[in-house]
Every structure is written in C-alpha cells, then in structure tokens.
Amino acid sequence: MKLCILSGKGGTGKTTLAVNLAYTLNCAYYDCDVEEPNGFIFLNPMAVSAEETLVDYPCVDYSLCTLCKDCVTACQFNALAATKKEILLFKELCHGCHACSLACSEGAITFAKRAVGVVEKGRSNGIFAARGVLNIGEPMAVPVIKHLLKQLKSSEDAILDCAPGTSCNAVTTLRHADAALIVTEPTVFGLNDMEIAVELLNHVGLPFAALVNKSRGEDSLITEYCGKNGINLLGVIPFSKEAAIAYSKGKLLLELPEYKLAFEALSKQLKEAFAWN
C-alpha cells in the first residue's frame, strides 16, 4: 500500500500526520514536498546518502546551426529565443523534453545535464526515510519528485507526504499512490481547499478518506461537507498546547500518550478503510 497524505492547503499539519503515521504503521516515509521538505526534522534519519537530480538542457553547435529558429518555434515552454547571432536558452524554463532537438533538421542540438535538486535516503528508528530537496531558485519540482519516487519499491508499504495544494507536484505524487488521506483543518479555508483536493482525487480515481487535524471540537463545517458528499471522515486529531510545543521542538506527537493512542486508532481505521493488510 502506498498511502498519499495530502492537504488542499498548507499548514494543516500534513507532515506531522505523515511522519507519525509512518512510525505507527512501521512503513517507509517519502517526503515529496520537495519545495519545503521538513519531515526529516522529526525523523532525524541516520546514515543519509544523497544523489543529485539531473535534467537535460540543450546546447547548440554553431558550426551546424543555420539560425532557422525551428527549435524556438518547437519549444512549448518559451525556453528558447533567437537573436541575430545566437539561440538563447532560459535554463529554468526548460523541461528537457527534447522537442527542439527533434525540430532541428541540422542536427545542431545536443544535450547536457544540470542538477536541480537532490534525493536523500536514510533510516530512522527502523523505518526507511527519503526526501527530495529542490535547489533554491529552481522553479520545477516535478523532476525531483519523480526521481524520489523512483526509489519506491513495489513490495513496500509507504507513506507519501505530498506537496500542499493540487498542482503538478501533488498530481505527480498521486500517480504513485494506491489511496489518499486528506488532512484538513476545521476552517472555511480548510474546507475550500479540501473541496479542490476532493475534485482532484475524484478526477484521478483514487480511493480516499479524510481527517480533521487541530480540532477544537467545532468541526461541523467539515463533518457536514463529508456527510453530504459521502466522504469517509476517519476522525479528528485534537489541537493542544502540548502538541504545539512538541512540534516546535521537532518532536513526534507519538511521545504524548493521548496522541499515541489517537495514531494507533487512526492506523487501524486506515487499514480497514483501504483493506490494507
């Protein structure tokens, strides 16, 4: 089972849920929120190895180039521009799709590689933990997420800690998941962004359930929405000052007895909900 933990919006406590669930379920953890991968703060893995994420970019051989501009026309990402003397490349916009090379009848385009991020792997108290880290200033997270998720083993159970929102970053992670858990907070913003996440999950056709985090006992916004839409609301994780203090110190909520019980109950519900053996 590969369970994706996602949230319509940032700040719902998705990563807190994901790392505590990975320990409770004794399964691997993949931090796919590569723009802000903070799961390792809580897991603190040992013996971390790192491998760069490399992407292709085109190089023009001016001994062959006729400055016909066919490559510029072929590029759907506006990564190329022509001057009177050369073809300019805006590397950050290049998706490495090779369309420019296919369009070049002179064979003037070859490819080189550059690093856009890194994938790190280690172990934390018996579980495998991996994360992608996008280099500062790089706009495209998807190559790093894809590189990270290449490490997934078909036989392993894993928690995939998804990027917030419903962009390509979330969709790329969902493509590797068998089921999803939406973590939301009981606010108008939480509901609005949860609705978008539900639309996405229905579109990709993944089974999913929901969970309210940071509950202060006033969850009717979410419970009514889930009731109306037939969404399996697994329960609530309460807000508490002790939990906030533990979080701020990079500690797992499992260290607090009432949260340990809550995560054990949640793990059981998840296994039942998704027939996870």
Residues of this chain, 92-151, that bind ligand SF4 according to CB under 6 A: 94-100, 103-104, 106, 108-109
Alpha-carbon distance 259 to 166, whole Å?
28
* Best CA proximity match to 200, nearest among 175, 222, 221: 175
CA 150 to the chain's CA centroid: 13
**What is the closest distance, in whole angstroms, from the C-beta atom of residue 91 to ligand SF4 in the complex?**
9
**What is the closest distance, in whole angstroms, from the C-beta atom of residue 142 to ligand SF4 in the complex?**
13
Q: Does 79 bind ligand SF4 (CB under 6 A)?
A: yes
First-to-last CA distance in the chain? 8
**What is the closest distance, in whole angstroms, from the C-beta atom of residue 134 to ligand SF4 in the complex?**
18
Which ranges of 26-118 does DSSP label H, i.e. alpha helix? 39-43, 70-74, 99-103
**What is the closest distance, in whole angstroms, from the C-beta atom of residue 228 to ligand SF4 in the complex?**
43
**What is the closest distance, in whole angstroms, from the C-beta atom of residue 141 to ligand SF4 in the complex?**
16
Give the x-and-dash track for 51-70 against ligand SF4 (CB under 6 A): -------x-x----xxxxxx
Alpha-carbon distance 100 to 177, whole Å?
33
- What residues are paired with 89 via a beta bridge? 80
**What is the closest distance, in whole angstroms, from the C-beta atom of residue 64 to ligand SF4 in the complex?**
7
Give the x-and-dash track for 178-217 against ligand SF4 (CB under 6 A): ----------------------------------------
* Best CA proximity match to 165, nearest among 136, 192, 133: 192
**Tokens at 144, concatenated:** 């790093």
**What is the closest distance, in whole angstroms, from the C-beta atom of residue 110 to ligand SF4 in the complex?**
10
Q: Which CB, 52 or 70, lies closer to ligand SF4?
A: 70
Q: Which CB, 103 or 233, lies closer to ligand SF4?
A: 103
**Cβ(163)–Cβ(30) below 8 Å:** no
**Cβ(74)–Cβ(102) below 8 Å:** yes
Q: Which CB, 49 or 83, lies closer to ligand SF4?
A: 83
Alpha-carbon distance 142 to 95, whole Å?
10
**What is the closest distance, in whole angstroms, from the C-beta atom of residue 144 to ligand SF4 in the complex?**
17
Instruction: Report the amino acid identity of residue 187.
Output: T
* Best CA proximity match to 101, nearest among 138, 56, 146: 56
- Token pair 């609530």 is found at 236
- Count of residues near ligand SF4 by CB under 6 A: 27
Q: Which CB, 106 or 157, lies closer to ligand SF4?
A: 106
Q: Which listed range, 11-19, 72-80, 139-147, 241-249, lies at the site for ligand SF4 (CB under 6 A)?
A: 72-80
Alpha-carbon distance 118 to 248, whole Å?
26
Q: Which CB, 85 or 153, lies closer to ligand SF4?
A: 85
Report how far apart, in Å, the C-alpha atoms of 266 and of each of 5, 16, 20, 237 are.
13, 14, 11, 9
Footprint on this chain of ligand SF4 (rule: CB under 6 A):
58, 60, 65-71, 74-75, 77, 79-80, 87, 94-100, 103-104, 106, 108-109
